[in-house]
Homo-oligomer: A and B are copies of this chain.
Amino acid sequence: MNPPLPFVEFRFKQYNITKGGNMGKTKSLKLFLVVMLVSSLSLNFFFIFRVFLVGDQLSWSRRAAAEAEEVAAISCSGHGRVYLDSFRVDADKPPVCECYACFVGPDCSQTLTDCVADADGGNPLFLEPFWMRNAASSAVLTAGWHRLGYSFSDGSFISEELEKHIRQLHDIVGNAVTQGRYIIFGVGSTQLLNAAVHALSAQNSSSPANVVASIPYYPIYKQQTEFFRATDFNFGGDASLWRNNSDATTSLIEFVTSPNNPDGQLKEAVLHGPNVKYIYDRVYHWPHFTAISAQADDDLMLFSISKITGHGGSRFGWAVVKDENVFQRMTAYVSMNTMGVSRDTQLRTLQLIKVVLKDGGKEIFDFGYTTLRSRWEKLNETLSISKRFTLQEIGAQYCNFFNKIRGPSPAYAWLKCEREEDKDCYAVLKAAKILSRRGSLFGAEEQYVRLSLLKTQDDFDILVHRLKELISEGGAIPMAEM
């Protein structure tokens, strides 16, 4: 007899040597076969149980799931990312890596030695590693028939489940009062800025409301208010210029950004009086960026998913509002402008917030804070060897969320060129291959620039590298020493 499998044959021969004898051989062979059979059958039962009883088999969702995993498995060497909708040479080919700045090649493995450190934009990619670690819990499968209609079952454009989870998020972080407040969704907080300006402007007033902010302020306040110049509002510039304004009939709308973009300071309103209304931009009021010392309870507060979970591309923000009339006017604005926010995005945001909530926010805020804290320390250390550049000062503060005193971890560096001849700080940095955002855009002097600390670790490392080169007076440091 010749057993068909070499493995079985080997065991049979081995047994011959140790035992000997014809009957012993037969018995031990039988025993061996029985053991093998039992093991093999057990394995089969395991598989059958797994496949048919645990419900391991997916049906219609499988293609989408497999495609997402296939794309995610494409390597971009950690210096780029490939998405389902990345460019494809043709439809049957897999998508191509999108390399981060300073990296090229099909798998982003080649470094460009003379590239520019782009610290201009605010792409919140520092949180990407968190989402890769939480891949299973954060994925969302959207069925083809998901919410075709315009309205939810209550007739609104707002997901009740998402609103509930947003309130829970504020509760666990303790950064804002939402009980008894209205919530409005927007296509990013960007849409809500102008919705709020619109809602707070006096209708049919003889003179338009002046929209103001204290310097340095987020450039969009000015750009957007001027772009959508309406009959009932216009941009009035620096808030402090209106401090001694005796004309109490002029309506004023003050943007108060706390923590502030660009400098991370905890700002308070500059103007007071019965003719002043406020829009509190609270998008950075999260434990990544600042100590949470109290629940904010302003009349109108704006938040954005971009600065909490990092999903800037999803375009989702919300406003927390006390006054019913303001709520109605903002809701009307969003309806008339875009008929609400994408229901696909509302579904995804719900899942992202569920992931944040599952451990009370501990993992994401720890990760965000630790990352930004270490970047801030590294940047301070890099600049400390010279007096040419200084950074804003932010103190340590007790944080109710972390239950400890925490050091600063701002989203941006507000850099000042200290030398007399470096009046145009943007140009100084640009010559050193660093792209920053001009101080004048924030209403400030050109001695200032904003550097984003929110991007990928690669982006930050290249920024530090270029700053080191600049401080060493133009001495080029090889990229490998980054």
Please report A residues at the B interface, Cβ cutoff 8 Å.
1, 3-5, 8, 26-27, 29-31, 33-34, 36-38, 40-41, 43-44, 47, 51, 55, 58-69, 72, 81, 83-88, 98, 121-125, 127-128, 131-132, 134-153, 159-162, 187-188, 190-191, 194, 220, 223-224, 227-232, 310-316, 332-333, 336-348, 350-352, 355
Option from B68, B86, B87, B227 in Cβ contact (under 8 Å) with A141 = B68
Say which residue of B43, B60, B230, B314 sits within 8 Å of A136 (CB atoms): B60
CB <8 Å contact, A338 and B338: yes
Known: A69-B59, A85-B161, A190-B337. A313 touches B148 (CB 8 A): yes
- A65 and B190 alpha carbons, distance in the complex (Å): 32
| Contact, CB under 8 Å: A313 / B149 | yes
Contacts of A81 in B (CB 8 A): 145
A315's partner among B58, B61, B339 (CB-CB below 8 A) is B339
B228 near A231 with CB under 8 A, answer: no
Q: Which residues of B contact A145 (CB under 8 A)?
A: 81, 128, 131-132, 135, 138
B contact residues around A5 at 8 Å (CB): 38, 41
Given A33-B34, A86-B161, A345-B342: A336 touches B68 (CB 8 Å cut-off): no
A336: which B residues are within 8 A, CB to CB? 190, 220, 223-224, 227-228
Asked whether, in the complex, the Cβ of B228 is within 8 Å of the Cβ of A143, the reply is: no
Q: Are A83 and B147 in contact (CB under 8 A)?
A: yes
Majority secondary structure, A binding face: helix
On chain B, the residues within 8 Å of A232 by CB distance are 229
**Complex Cα spacing A416 to B54, Å:** 58
Q: Find the B residue at minimum CB distance from A146.
A: B83
Q: Are A3 and B315 in contact (CB under 8 A)?
A: no
- Given A337-B337, A344-B344: A148 and B161 within 8 A (CB)? no
- From B44, B131, B146, give the contact of A40 (CB < 8 A): B44
How far apart are A212's CB and chain B's nearest CB, in angstroms?
A: 19
The answer, among B125, B138, B148, B345, for a CB contact under 8 Å with A128, is B148
Instruction: Name the B residues within 8 Å of A4 (CB-CB).
Output: 34, 38
Q: How far is the CB of A141 from chain B (nearest CB, A)?
A: 4
Contact assessment for B137 and A63 in the assembled complex, using a CB-CB cutoff below 8 Å: yes
Closest 10 CB pairs of A and B: A138-B144, A313-B343, A131-B144, A60-B135, A123-B149, A61-B65, A64-B139, A33-B33, A68-B141, A187-B338
Cβ-defined partner of A47 (8 Å) among B44, B311, B345:
B44
| Cβ distance A146 to chain B, nearest Cβ, rounded Å | 6
Chain A to chain B contacts (Cβ below 8 Å), 23 pairs:
A5-B38, A26-B30, A29-B30, A43-B47, A47-B47, A58-B69, A61-B135, A61-B136, A61-B139, A85-B161, A87-B160, A123-B151, A127-B148, A131-B148, A134-B144, A139-B143, A140-B141, A142-B348, A187-B337, A190-B337, A228-B337, A337-B337, A344-B348
The answer on a CB contact under 8 Å between B61 and A69 is yes
Q: CA separation between A47 and B60, bound complex, in Å?
A: 20
Beyond the given pairs A142-B348, A338-B338, 6 more chain A to chain B contacts, judged by CB atoms under 8 angstroms and listed by A's residue number, are A123-B150, A131-B145, A150-B313, A223-B336, A230-B231, A315-B342
Q: With CB as the reference atom, state the residue of chain B lying closest to A139.
A: B64
Q: Which interface residue of A123, A188, A348 has the most chain B CB atoms within 10 A?
A: A348
- Kindly state the separation between the CA atoms of A112 and B315 in the bound complex, as whole angstroms: 39
B135 touches A150 (CB 8 A): no
Q: Chain B nearest CB: distance from A140 CB in Å?
A: 5
Q: Decide if B123 touches A311 in the complex (CB within 8 Å).
A: no
Query: When chains A and B are docked, how far (Å) is the Cα of A333 from the Cα of B22?
Result: 92
Instruction: Contact check, B85 vs A346: say whether CB atoms are below 8 A apart.
Output: yes
Give the distance in Å from the alpha carbon of A439 to the alpha carbon of B220 in the complex: 40
Q: Is the CB of A62 within 8 A of B136?
A: yes
Taking a contact as CB atoms under 8 Å apart, the answer to whether A148 and B132 are in contact is no
